[in-house]
Structure 1
Amino acid sequence: MQKSANTAAAWGLDRIPLESIELQRVHGREDLFYLATAASFIESGSDLYTRNLIHYCAGETELVDWLQNHWEKEEMQHGRALHAYARHVWPEFDWERAYAAFFEDYSHQCTLDEFEPTPGLEMVARCVIETGTATFYQALAEQAVEEPVLAGLTSRIRADEIGHYKHFYRYFRQYRAGQPPGRLRVLAAVGRRVLEARRGDAECALWHAFTVRQPDAAANKTAFHTLNARLGQQLKHHYPVTMAVKMLLKLLDLPTGLSRVVQGPLVRATRWALR
């Protein structure tokens, strides 16, 4: 079960051909600036959640070992890679100042109080987040198709995030075998985390990138909400709905036949909601 760690070890900053980026073409892409920069903030701050999760799951030797020695390192590598990309393409942006402001906010949100009531359900919540990150990076890779360096980088991160989902799903199954939470509690945990994701750290990261990049507009929340909505609409065109639905349905452990029956309507309903 160390496949994702080995995948991450196969690439690093030295494998990202920053020098091949056509800066004149990409520097003016506001969408790529905000999406890549916000993602770099979130990934760079992932060690805080890791420490909280290790504390919450103390005693689970195998899980704690994987979190410390594989997952955290991979997440921080994502942050360093995205930071390096942003610094290379937009050197005028004060990344450190914006990140410091983001982390100050994020550290108040990312606390043990926000965890699910049991470690098993927290594994469910983590699977939801990994679903969100994997699908986000797939959408971003397609959005950045004309900039092959960013498209390649985000495709690598996507592969790592899918590997993380598989690990957390395995640990969820181990918890479920010992203390079955029931599908209703799992569904409730999925719903809570999906709703939180819509108004959580991504918006916080985007806000701090916005206020540093456009300080004159920092007091104008309307301009920020317009930007946020525009970026969301752009990503929706590339969002892998079927992939997301399959990953979330898997958590409910439905009978195979029932899962196939409900998957189609859920995919169609999600696509309709994203219009």
Structure 2
Amino acid sequence: MSYHPLPWTLESLDLDSIQMARIRHNEDLFFLLCSSSFVESGSDLYTQNLVDHFAGDEELQAWLSQHWEHEELQHGRALTAYVRKVWPEFDWDTGFTAFWNDYAAVCTSEQLEADRGLELAARCVVETGTASLYRALHDITDEPVLKKLTNHIKSDEVRHYKHFYQHYRAYREREGFGRYKVFRAILRRVNEIKSEDSEIALRHVFNQCYPQHLGDEKAFRRISDRAQGLLRRHLPAEMTVKMLLKPLDLPARLLSLLEKPLARITEKLFLH
């Protein structure tokens, strides 16, 4: 299978120049980066579900398998390489294996919207979440290599969003579903993001770091809430709201009225 050239490569990141003093002590960033590396490294499973779901749409299938998956897996490789470099004592392989066993059980085709056009609206939600995550991580850190890496990934995710949105518009035109159905699909996917991928990943990072606290929900919540609180303070709320609402194709006046109040509650949708 031929792949489109990647917009950036892992080799372009000089991991040896990481300024350890700026990042090594930050456990919250460690949890956020490591859990993200787990999720991104499982992208091939999700891609196959989507490829199967869009059987017959050869253009979208080709983009998913030859572009999107290729770039998502590079995100996983790059984040993993960064985590291994900064925190070499963390047993990434063991943590990821445990994560994968749980993640594979919930990352199934049954999660996808039965209506393919609505699944593309839901994909826009996922890409909104990841673009916002990496924009926040970029703003949080002052370590130059991590700033460069998170900017690369954020740019990829915004581009992926635009691609899914273009296909969504084509399906909407053909299938004629209304805003209410789109809104329901968006809301369902927001709730899934909140409750599954990041939760499973964070839990397995915690289990690997603190085996003595395995099963201690209070200890896990203390670490998880602290890391998510860091994200919450840096979430690009206005960008997130604009991306979330775009598939609804609302009139400009209504959109402008909704953006500010929704920006204030977006953090509650994406973060615990």
State TM-score, norm by structure 1: 0.93
Distance 1:254 1:139, change over 3 A: same
Distance 1:252 1:27, change over 3 A: same
Identity of aligned residues (%): 48
Task: Find the residue that maps to 1:251 and give its secondary structure.
Answer: helix
Partner of 1:45: 42
Q: Which amino acid aligns with 1:229?
A: D
Partner of 1:127: 124
d(CA) in 1 for partners of 2:265, 2:88: 42
Partner of 2:96: 99
2:220 is the alignment partner of 1:233: no
d(CA) in 1 for partners of 2:64, 2:105: 22
Note the aligned Cα RMSD (angstroms). 1.7
Report runs of 4+ in structure 1 exceeding 6 Å deviation.
271-274
d(CA) in 2 for partners of 1:269, 1:155: 25
2:239 is the alignment partner of 1:243: yes
2:240–2:266 Cα contact (<8 Å) kept: no
Q: 1:253 aligns with which of 226, 249, 254?
A: 249
* Unpaired stretches in structure 1, ≥5 consecutive residues: none
* Unpaired stretches in structure 2, ≥5 consecutive residues: none
d(CA) in 2 for partners of 1:58, 1:271: 35
| Partner deviation per Cα, 1:115-153 (whole Å, 9 max, x = no partner) | 112111110111000000000001111111x21111210
2:112 is the alignment partner of 1:115: yes
d(CA) in 2 for partners of 1:50, 1:271: 27
Q: 2:80 aligns with which of 76, 79, 83?
A: 83
Q: 1:155 aligns with which of 135, 151, 154?
A: 151
d(CA) in 2 for partners of 1:37, 1:270: 23
Partner of 2:261: 265
d(CA) in 1 for partners of 2:195, 2:254: 31
2:7 is the alignment partner of 1:10: yes
Distance 1:88 1:269, change over 3 A: closer
Q: Which amino acid aligns with 2:241?
A: V
Q: CA deviation at 1:191?
A: 0.6
Q: 1:141 aligns with which of 122, 138, 143?
A: 138
Partner of 2:54: 57
2:38–2:96 Cα contact (<8 Å) kept: yes
Q: 2:66 aligns with which of 45, 69, 78?
A: 69
2:27 is the alignment partner of 1:21: no
Give the number of equivalent residue pairs. 268
2:174 is the alignment partner of 1:175: no
State TM-score, norm by structure 2: 0.94
